[in-house]
């Protein structure tokens, strides 16, 4: 895997073991699909990163600097996954209460294969995770570096035919998949879970809320299973229909297809075109 990166603008540099990103997971990240150095859904990524910096008290780098570093690491790659990581940085003192003047900025590119059209046509299978996401309102919505919950949840299954695991909060309400947001269709309307207690407010989710009538709703397990359609959204795969939750089957329906077409028109790299037999 040929990975290219810049640390504070320096090619292939390394990280201090004293960086607060490493000591405490103090920091933020964005994972962005890029084509020839151009990030998809950039305004959504930038908005979330800025909000994360505000909440964690991390200095936000200049937008133009991040854009030029993304272009640099992803140059010549027709399709690349770029991760921006802003770490807390190296503080003068030890301990939770210390702060660094400037964050450490990592911009990293992984070359990506063209998207497989199969899952977009037929949908993917998902399962329920046992792990419940903890309530953490101060951190809800932002993409911070404390991701042990997602790591543990993703380890709950190994079957490669299962694409994702659905995560609920302690009250039994759906939050998200381990690395995607979730939408359901009910009476022809789009619904997605509220994320004020936990979860990450995804960029495709934000795009859809901006462009379609989406109801932010409480979705317990029964309501999910009674849905007409279900789909996942994330910043690397776009919108992917769900064809099964456990043993229960779902169809790839018209509302899912309409959302896919909308994203395809805005970001063709992120959302592959699928030949549709019907609508």
Q: Is 2 in the site for a copy of itself (CB under 8 A)?
A: no
Q: Does residue 76 sit in helix, strand or coil?
A: coil
What is the bridge-based pairing of β-strands 181-186 and 80-87?
unpaired
Q: What CA–CA distance (Å, rounded) separates 249 from 225? A: 9
Q: What CA–CA distance (Å, rounded) separates 119 from 239? A: 10
> Considering only residues 178-207, where is the footprint of a copy of itself by CB under 8 A?
178-179
**Which CB sits closer to a copy of itself, 139 or 212?**
139
Whether 56 contacts 26, CB under 8 Å: yes
**Which CB sits closer to a copy of itself, 138 or 187?**
138
**Which CB sits closer to a copy of itself, 81 or 194?**
81
What are the tokens at 179? 């690395």
Q: Is 59 in the site for a copy of itself (CB under 8 A)?
A: no
The three state secondary structure string of 235-263 is CCCEEEEEEEECCEECCCCHHHHHHHHHH
Which among 10-18, 42-50, 71-79, 202-210 is the span making contact with a copy of itself, rule CB under 8 A? 10-18
Q: Is 62 in the site for a copy of itself (CB under 8 A)?
A: no
**Which CB sits closer to a copy of itself, 145 or 227?**
145
Sketch the per residue contact string, 214 through 253, with a copy of itself: x for CB under 8 A, - otherwise.
----------------------------------------
**Which CB sits closer to a copy of itself, 7 or 208?**
7
**Which CB sits closer to a copy of itself, 58 or 245?**
58
What φ, ψ does residue 202 adopt, rounded to 5°?
-70, 160
Q: Is 148 in the site for a copy of itself (CB under 8 A)?
A: yes
What are the tokens at 56? 């964690």
| Sign of the alpha-carbon torsion through 111, 115, 119, 120 | positive
> Considering only residues 64-83, where is the footprint of a copy of itself by CB under 8 A?
81, 83
What are the tokens at 176? 């998200």
- Written as one string, the DSSP assignment of 176-211 is EETTBEEEEEETTEEEEE--SSSSB--HHHHHHHHH
Sketch the per residue contact string, 17 through 56, with a copy of itself: x for CB under 8 A, - otherwise.
xxxxxxxxxx--x--------------------------x
Residues of this chain that bind a copy of itself (CB under 8 A): 1, 3, 5, 7, 14-26, 29, 56-57, 81, 83, 85, 87, 92-97, 106, 108, 110, 131, 134-136, 138-139, 144-155, 170, 178-179
């Amino acid at each position: 895997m040929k990975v290219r990166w810049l640390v504070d603008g320096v090619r292939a540099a390394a990280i201090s073991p004293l960086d607060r990103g490493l000591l405490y997971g103090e920091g933020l990240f964005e994972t962005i699909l890029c084509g020839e150095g151009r990030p998809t859904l950039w305004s959504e990524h930038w908005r979330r990163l800025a909000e994360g910096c505000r909440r964690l008290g991390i200095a936000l780098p200049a937008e133009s600097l991040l854009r030029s570093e993304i272009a640099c690491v992803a140059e010549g790659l027709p399709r690349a996954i770029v991760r921006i990581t802003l770490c807390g940085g190296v503080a003068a003192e030890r301990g939770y209460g210390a702060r660094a003047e400037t964050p450490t900025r990592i911009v990293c590119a992984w070359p990506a294969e063209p998207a497989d059209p199969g899952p977009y046509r037929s949908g993917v299978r998902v399962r329920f995770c046992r792990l419940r996401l903890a309530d953490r309102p101060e951190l809800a919505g932002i993409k911070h570096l404390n991701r042990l919950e997602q790591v543990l949840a993703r380890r709950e299954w190994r079957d490669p035919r299962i694409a994702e695991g659905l995560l609920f909060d302690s009250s039994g309400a759906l939050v998200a998949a381990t690395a995607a947001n979730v939408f359901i269709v009910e009476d022809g309307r789009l619904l997605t879970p509220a994320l004020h207690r936990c979860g990450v407010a995804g960029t495709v989710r934000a795009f859809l809320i901006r462009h379609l009538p989406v109801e932010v709703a409480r979705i317990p397990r029964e309501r999910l299973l009674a849905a007409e359609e279900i789909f996942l959204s994330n910043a690397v795969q776009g919108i992917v229909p769900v064809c099964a939750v456990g043993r229960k089957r779902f169809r790839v329906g018209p509302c899912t297809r309409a959302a896919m077409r909308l994203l395809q028109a805005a970001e063709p790299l992120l959302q592959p075109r699928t030949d549709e037999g019907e609508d």
